[in-house]
Amino acid sequence: MSSTQPKSALQNILTKAHGYIQQAFELKGIGYEKRDEELTSIRNEIEFTSSNIDLSIEPSFVISQDKKTIDSQILENYRQCLLYALHTERINSRELAPMIAIGQNHFTDPILARMIAALINARAHLTALEILINIKNKHYDGRASKAAHAKHLKPSKKEDTPIIKALVKYIHYKNLDLSKAKTKERIDYISKIIININKEYKILDISDIGELKTDILEASLEITDKFKGPRARITDRLAWIRSQQPNTSADNENSMLNETTLTLNFNEGMKTALLYMLVEKFSDMPTVTIKKIKSIKTKEQIERGLALLSRGASLSEISAAMDT
């Protein structure tokens, strides 16, 4: 690690690796009493195979409705997530930490790069695990009879949402340049992939393409926030709103109607952005304040709130400004 790279970067990598392990345990339903045993088993495996761990292999899985196949893939992605996360920690303890301890920081960049590669693999397998478990939960868990397994039961919105989110994560991981694409292009691209997957495997109930794209937008915004920062959510959301507006008609009456609709939708987008930024900054917001923000009617009120927020005003000051 070079002198220009803060130690916090290393700590951030290790924290993420630990977090991925805990998320994998939660997804797989591994109780606390069995977690040490699981970790010991994987660590022993790493000791014997660490020289053969390939950091260039990307996770892959086949979306299937065969329970045995899904269970097998769940187990493999769970195991691989733990393996790569623990390998990240091992590279640090066996290679990076000793070099730092003797002041050889200028030799550590290649080691750090391998840690990051292992961490990325752990994250990818965790995402695959999330997708597979959501598919399994939809089609098998809680079904009352064998007949229910033999056909697709209509999924609920509650069941669809986590699968859409997991698929969006996976598609972003496989296409890292997506975060740089224009909002409409990104959403259209992801929706086409998900629709094609669903045609073959029927894992989602897609009755409204517009609703699907809205769900994809929300899931995608959570991911692009990490690449471009939370303010990107505002511009991306507004870009999406504009892209969904019909072309302005040459007819005067229709033009006025479209302009009014555009203004209303623009204000709604800005209002949502303001509320998002307030929650990000102040965390637990009183219900009365949330209702007040949602009830804002004018562009001027929204701009006033954004201006105060950018100047570091308190929540009470911003809330009071909404009354004027």
Q: For every residue of 104-146, which 3-state class applies, written as one string?
A: CHHHCHHHHHHHHHHHHHHHHHHHHHHHHHHHHHHHCCCCCCH
Least Cα distance to 135 among 159, 171, 168 occurs for 159
So what's the pLDDT on residue 250? 45
Is the whole model's pTM more than 0.75, yes or no? no
So what's the pLDDT on residue 23? 93
pLDDT reading at 195 higher than 50? yes
So what's the pLDDT on residue 81? 92
So what's the pLDDT on residue 228? 67
* In the block, residue with structure tokens 């909002």: 183
Between residues 204 and 200, the one the model is more confident about:
204
pLDDT reading at 214 higher than 80? yes
So what's the pLDDT on residue 256? 45
Confidence tier at 51 by pLDDT (50, 70, 90):
low
Structure tokens at 186: 């990104």
Confidence tier at 257 by pLDDT (50, 70, 90):
very low
So what's the pLDDT on residue 144? 34
So what's the pLDDT on residue 3? 44
Confidence tier at 158 by pLDDT (50, 70, 90):
low
| Cα gap 105→109, rounded to integer Å | 8
pLDDT reading at 293 higher than 90? no
| Cα gap 56→60, rounded to integer Å | 13
Q: Is 285 helix (H, G, I), strand (E, B) or coil?
A: coil
For residue 214, the Cα-to-chain-centroid distance in whole angstroms is 15
Between residues 262 and 105, the one the model is more confident about:
105
Q: What is the mean pLDDT of residues 273-293?
A: 80
Between the ranges 53-57, 148-152, 153-157, 280-284, where is the mean pLDDT highest? Answer: 280-284
Confidence tier at 87 by pLDDT (50, 70, 90):
very high
Structure tokens at 137: 């939960």
Q: What is the mean pLDDT of residues 70-94?
A: 91
| Cα gap 120→115, rounded to integer Å | 9
Least Cα distance to 222 among 190, 264, 192, 263 occurs for 190
pLDDT reading at 62 higher than 70? no
User: Phi-psi bin for 119: left (phi > 0), alpha (psi -120 to 50), beta?
Assistant: alpha
- pLDDT-above-70 percentage for the chain: 73
Confidence tier at 219 by pLDDT (50, 70, 90):
confident
pLDDT reading at 155 higher than 50? no
* Helix (DSSP H) and strand (DSSP E) numbers for the chain: 14, 0
Confidence tier at 188 by pLDDT (50, 70, 90):
very high
**Residues 6 or more apart whose Cβ sits within 8 Å of residue 240:** 183, 184, 187, 217
Between residues 59 and 283, the one the model is more confident about:
283
Between residues 232 and 124, the one the model is more confident about:
124
**Torsion angle (degrees, nearest 10) of CA 198, 202, 204, 206:** 70
Between residues 309 and 202, the one the model is more confident about:
309
So what's the pLDDT on residue 107? 63
